[in-house]
Amino acid sequence: MRDMRALVIDDSKAMRMILGRLLKTVGFEVSEACHGRDALEKLGDGPPVDLALVDWNMPEMNGLDFVKAVRGSGNHAAMKLMMVTTESELARVQAAIEAGADEYVMKPFTPEVLKDKLVQMGFGA
Ligand SMILES: [Mg+2]
């Protein structure tokens, strides 16, 4: 089986580092994008991605629009999408689920919470 690949999509460099480090500890190869449009470009150029962690508020293309664009394209159908939200955005999570997001995690979260979600999604032990 090939290595698992994750794409961390967030306009915060600090958040990308935190999430990237965590994903590496559970065995992902990690790449980063700083907003939705950047992510679409990287998905178009790169190898298949198994999991994308998607921030909400980003310049150029926000997280919800990214989910809509990916799921509407019919490409990357096997890629799981996890929204990374704040509490104030929870009411909007339903819109992302309806658009095709698979899961969400609320900031701030512990490494254990994120790892549990990943296991539920079929990643990791
Ligand atoms: Mg943001």
Percent of the chain with pLDDT over 70: 98
Per-residue confidence band for 1, with pLDDT thresholds at 50, 70 and 90 = very low
Residue 109 Cα to ligand 1 midpoint, Å, equals 16
Across 39-66, average pLDDT: 95
Give one DSSP letter per residue of 4-59, joined into a string. EEEEEE-S-HHHHHHHHHHHHHTTEEEEEESSHHHHHHHHHHS---SEEEEESS-S
Q: Quick one: which of 102, 104, 31, 101 has its CA closest to 67?
A: 101
Cis peptide before 108 (omega within 30 of 0): yes
Q: Rounded to two decimals, what is the model's pTM?
A: 0.94
Among the CATH numbers 3.40.462.40, 3.40.50.2300, 3.40.50.1100, 3.50.50.60, which is that of 4-120?
A: 3.40.50.2300
CA of 17 to the centre of ligand 1 (A): 13
Mind listing the pLDDT tens digit for each residue in 65-102? 999 999 999 999 999 999 999 878 778 888 999 999 99
Largest Cα span, the chain: 39
- pLDDT computed for residue 2 by the predictor: 58
Q: How far is the CA of 2 from the centre of ligand 1 (A)?
A: 30
Ligand 1 mean position, distance from CA 13 (Å): 9
Domain ranges of the chain: 4-120
- CA 117 to ligand 1 center in whole angstroms: 21
CA–CA distance, 122 with 55 (Å, rounded to integer): 21
User: Taking all residues of the chain, what is their mean pLDDT, rounded to a whole number?
Assistant: 93
The label of the residue with tokens 């998905």 reads 43
Ligand 1 centre distance from Cα of residue 36 (Å) = 11
